[in-house]
Structure 1
Amino acid sequence: MTKLGVPGPDQGVSGVTAVHSPPSPPTARRRPETVARTGLYALLAANALVVAVLFVRAGFGANALVVLGRLTGLYAGLLMAFQLLLVARLPWLDRRIGMDRLTLWHRWTGFGLLWALLAHVVFITFGYADMSSLDPVDQLVDLAGTVEGVLRAVVALALILVVGAVSARRARRRLAYETWHFIHLYSYAAVVLAFSHQVAVGSTFTASPAATAYWWGLWGAALTAVLTGRLVLPLGRNRRHRLRVTAVVPENDQVVSVHITGRDLHRLPARAGQFFLWRFLTRDRWWQAHPFSLSAAPDGRTLRLTVKAAGDGSAALRRLRPGTRVFAEGPYGAFTTLRRTRPDTLLIAGGVGVTPIRALLEELDGHAVVLYRVRTEADAVLLGELRALALAKGAELHLVTGPAAPDRLAPAELSRLVPDLTGRDVYVCGPPGMTTAVLRSLRALGVPKRQIHHERFSLAG
């Protein structure tokens, strides 16, 4: 199969010779995402050390199994607090690391938490059973019935087991996001129950004023982060900006652009490449939140999202009426120019994944090359805007068409279209299969990992 509408390597759109923009200023040696990631690791390591010191100072005074049970319980509490921080959606972390990676870390931390809790229950139960001569099941029943807080801990563990089960990859694929999210809310109940258990029976918690202050401070900081990022900031921003739909513009039979305006949008810290969780406050859809990227760089006056009908929620956007109120959470994501390490850029888009790519092209300086992968030219959303932007900015635009196989963005083809790609930052956004194939090609071509930027717009990890 041939490629249609692909300019030569030395040409921009419509055969116009590409004009290079002035190079960007040198980027900082320490990348923002590296600083944020290192900060999180250091924070976790420092707290793990504090927990160990407080545990040793509290003394042991029991058999080895009970000692191990208490220690695994303390580290389970630390992991639970760290999980809350990862999903608090704090702007400083999200802009540097990205919601997709934070959510993925939250998921894997959750599995670590689950194993720590199971170890805590097993060690404690067998340890006390060894001292009382009861069998482990009877010992657990006895502890739940006679020791304050243990029954609450058992309930908390049951809730976490349920949340862990629905977080497994196969289960998440079968559940609607709203169902998954509703079940996941029970993890907050588990947090409260687990903390009340620690307050009631945690010997390390009450071993010294320093230990008590530490654990209250840890849980207080984690819950404050969640309340700030997921409640206070969204409510405050929506009250300030009062977003409304101004126009709904069909781009083709399956894709529609929604234009939104509001008050003081110049104060909204949104950047090209980011996304919001959008709730359109209609009678039948107000309860659904969808992650859609901005398809134009924010200009302080309007916001625009461009969406392909992939389900009932996205298909219903075509029926939105001007004036519809909008509740938006965000902006989220680290798929922005903040990640740049090189003056020049390669932007690779597939299908409707072109929306953040189009916004990034509008904001980027330096020389840019855009590769837009679609089945046919008729499927190329916002192609006219891309051509106009490429012409205005002296960028190269390559429209790569044809069936999914053979791969049109294999290493040899990427090298032909962009001979200097190893010296560029590369932004990739498209369907999962295409994105995976492109990332594999980039690695095969030796593009440094720090220059490759991609983001999965997913809420469930």
Structure 2
Amino acid sequence: MTTVQSPPVPPTAIRPRVVARTGLYAVLAANAAVVTFFFTQAGFASNTLVVLGRLAGLYGALLMAFQLLLVARLPWLDRRIGMDRLTLWHRWTGFGILWTLLAHAVFITFGYAESSSLDPVNQLIDLAETVEGVLRAVVALAIVLVVGAVSARFARRRLAYETWHFIHLYTYLAVVLAFSHQVAAGTTFTSSPAATAYWYAVWAFALGSVAVGRLLLPLWRNWRHQLRVTAVVPESDSVVSIYMTGRDLDRMPARAGQFFLWRFLTRDRWWQANPYSLSAAPDGRTLRLTAKTVGDGTAALRHVKVGTRVFAEGPYGAFTTMHRTRPETLLIAGGVGITPMRALLEELHGHVVLIYRVATDGDAVLYDELRELAHAKGAELHLITGRAAPDKLAPGELARLVPDVADRDVFLCGPPGMTGAVLRTLRELGVPTQQIHHERFSLAG
């Protein structure tokens, strides 16, 4: 078999993901410093609890704005960090908001109660009745508490995604209520024209990012590209490929390894969006997805008619060659996780080894395509079949197949159980973390 070599990857001082992550941390730290400055400039209340409560509220407001930025689906961040990591950070930021706003309410209530004759409960009621914006803040906190409760792991496992998503959308109402409370009752907000301008800018940027990334950009791209189905091809009894074309697809910023949220605009499915990876590298003329038809939504893909309009949000994901650090690559796929790997194999240069793990030969989707493509590119293709135990991708087995695994970039996509096992294997074989690329195709509400 011929081996195709590419020029060595030029050394990169800082990787794209590191640049983006460091930039986000720097922005958050800088804004925290600005918030602290304006807080101290406004002066302190005589009551320590009130001081702590106000500061906790300001940090909670800043975290709210930061959380909106994380889920705005801005292309620059998404391509460098990945939606799965942004979603995880969104989740932990949400719990930070929960605790800071709860601290804000408790400290403020007890602080005012300390200087009055009221107990904390009646003090809170009095503040809600007499101070403009406090009642709205109480409602916002209640929404945050409910969203935090349903987002906890034990509750999330028991709720349908649609139910969780519907409840989660109320977070936007909490943001509006919290901002209106800050405008009405925030002493730091009104302490100086500079402080007021700063907070308006923070909220405008956060809400503007959401509007651009989640509404305006998808609408503009779909108006520009006008996607339509050109072919529906069954690949097996449970897998189907859908081909699409449109206008100016050579200007669509999609890359192999990325995914879209696809809506097929039929009478009964226009409202349903599902994430599917591209199963072929974009060529400027057509797009292709390949999906396993396991539920009602995916099963309906087999019956999509040629000519159906498609609304596609994306492309999303950092599972691309942008993050390569080495000239040679190992691709490891399990089941229908082969779809982004098929696209990556088409785009990659240098010597590539592709390991495809399935239960039986019949489960090897797109295998004929993979074999032809591997032959054309001088890549190695290994089809591994059989039961999960014993592990056929254990350290010894993987080292035998790919002796130089520690000197390659490794792209991994498959079922969670397999992904976890292979990650442990790669760590045991000494593959550096920066050379391992995997992504969970998950979306934050």
TM-score range, shorter chain: over 0.9
**Equivalent in the alignment of 1:292:** 276
Deviation at 1:185, TM superposition (A): 1.3
**Equivalent in the alignment of 1:441:** 425
Letter in structure 2 aligned against 1:217: A
Asked which structure has the greater RCO (Cα within 8 Å, sep 6+), the reply is 1
Q: Name whichever of 292-301 and 403-412 sits farther off.
A: 403-412
Residue 137 of structure 2 is aligned to residue 153 of structure 1 = yes
Deviation at 1:27, TM superposition (A): 4.3
Describe the SS at the equivalent of 1:174.
Answer: coil
Residue 427 of structure 2 is aligned to residue 427 of structure 1 = no
Distance 1:386 1:24 in 2: 25
After superposition, the C-alpha distances for 1:263-286 in whole angstroms (9 at most, x for unaligned) are: 111111000000001111111111
After superposition, the C-alpha distances for 1:303-349 in whole angstroms (9 at most, x for unaligned) are: 00000022111111111111111111000000000000000000000
Describe the SS at the equivalent of 2:108.
Answer: helix
Letter in structure 2 aligned against 1:254: S
Deviation at 1:174, TM superposition (A): 3.2
**Does the 8 Å contact 1:21/1:394 carry over to 2?**
no
Distance 1:148 1:51 in 2: 23
Deviation at 1:287, TM superposition (A): 1.0
Distance 2:142 2:388 in 1: 45
Aligned counterpart in structure 1 of residue 85 of structure 2, from 85, 92, 101: 101
**Equivalent in the alignment of 2:330:** 346
Residue 369 of structure 2 is aligned to residue 385 of structure 1 = yes
Distance 2:294 2:56 in 1: 44
Matches within 5 A, 1:38-57: 38-57=22-41
Letter in structure 1 aligned against 2:203: W
Describe the SS at the equivalent of 1:362.
Answer: helix
Residue 24 of structure 2 is aligned to residue 30 of structure 1 = no
Distance 2:8 2:341 in 1: 19
Letter in structure 2 aligned against 1:417: L
**Does the 8 Å contact 2:337/2:414 carry over to 1?**
yes
Distance 1:356 1:136 in 2: 56
Distance 1:27 1:394 in 2: 25
After superposition, the C-alpha distances for 1:97-150 in whole angstroms (9 at most, x for unaligned) are: 001100110000000110001100000010001111211111111111111000
Q: Name whichever of 409-418 and 20-29 sits farther off.
A: 20-29
Describe the SS at the equivalent of 1:132.
Answer: coil
Describe the SS at the equivalent of 1:93.
Answer: helix
Describe the SS at the equivalent of 2:138.
Answer: helix
Aligned counterpart in structure 2 of residue 187 of structure 1, from 163, 171, 179: 171
**Equivalent in the alignment of 1:238:** 222
After superposition, the C-alpha distances for 1:206-246 in whole angstroms (9 at most, x for unaligned) are: 01111111101110111111111001100000011111111
Residue 183 of structure 2 is aligned to residue 199 of structure 1 = yes
Aligned counterpart in structure 1 of residue 197 of structure 2, from 213, 218, 227: 213
**Does the 8 Å contact 1:32/1:339 carry over to 2?**
yes
Distance 1:161 1:286 in 2: 33
Matches within 5 A, 1:263-302: 263-302=247-286
Letter in structure 1 aligned against 2:397: E
Describe the SS at the equivalent of 2:126.
Answer: helix
**Equivalent in the alignment of 2:308:** 324
Letter in structure 2 aligned against 1:459: L
Deviation at 1:166, TM superposition (A): 2.1
Distance 1:171 1:310 in 2: 25
**Does the 8 Å contact 1:23/1:344 carry over to 2?**
no
Distance 1:163 1:408 in 2: 42
**Does the 8 Å contact 2:327/2:408 carry over to 1?**
yes
Residue 122 of structure 2 is aligned to residue 138 of structure 1 = yes
Describe the SS at the equivalent of 1:50.
Answer: helix
**Does the 8 Å contact 2:334/2:415 carry over to 1?**
yes
Letter in structure 2 aligned against 1:244: R
Deviation at 1:24, TM superposition (A): 4.3
Deviation at 1:182, TM superposition (A): 1.9
Identity across aligned pairs (percent)? 77
Distance 2:22 2:47 in 1: 37
Distance 1:439 1:160 in 2: 35
Letter in structure 1 aligned against 2:302: R
Deviation at 1:25, TM superposition (A): 3.6
**Does the 8 Å contact 1:370/1:395 carry over to 2?**
yes
Letter in structure 2 aligned against 1:204: T
Letter in structure 1 aligned against 2:428: A
Deviation at 1:172, TM superposition (A): 2.7
**Equivalent in the alignment of 2:207:** 223
**Equivalent in the alignment of 1:6:** none
Deviation at 1:170, TM superposition (A): 3.1
Distance 1:24 1:385 in 2: 28
The alignment's TM-score, normalised by the length of structure 2, stands at 0.98
**Does the 8 Å contact 2:9/2:326 carry over to 1?**
no
Distance 1:226 1:64 in 2: 36
Distance 2:417 2:58 in 1: 41
Letter in structure 2 aligned against 1:284: D
Distance 1:210 1:90 in 2: 28
Deviation at 1:26, TM superposition (A): 1.5
Q: Name whichever of 404-413 and 292-301 sits farther off.
A: 404-413
Deviation at 1:249, TM superposition (A): 0.4
Residue 394 of structure 2 is aligned to residue 410 of structure 1 = yes
**Does the 8 Å contact 2:361/2:385 carry over to 1?**
yes
Describe the SS at the equivalent of 2:266.
Answer: coil
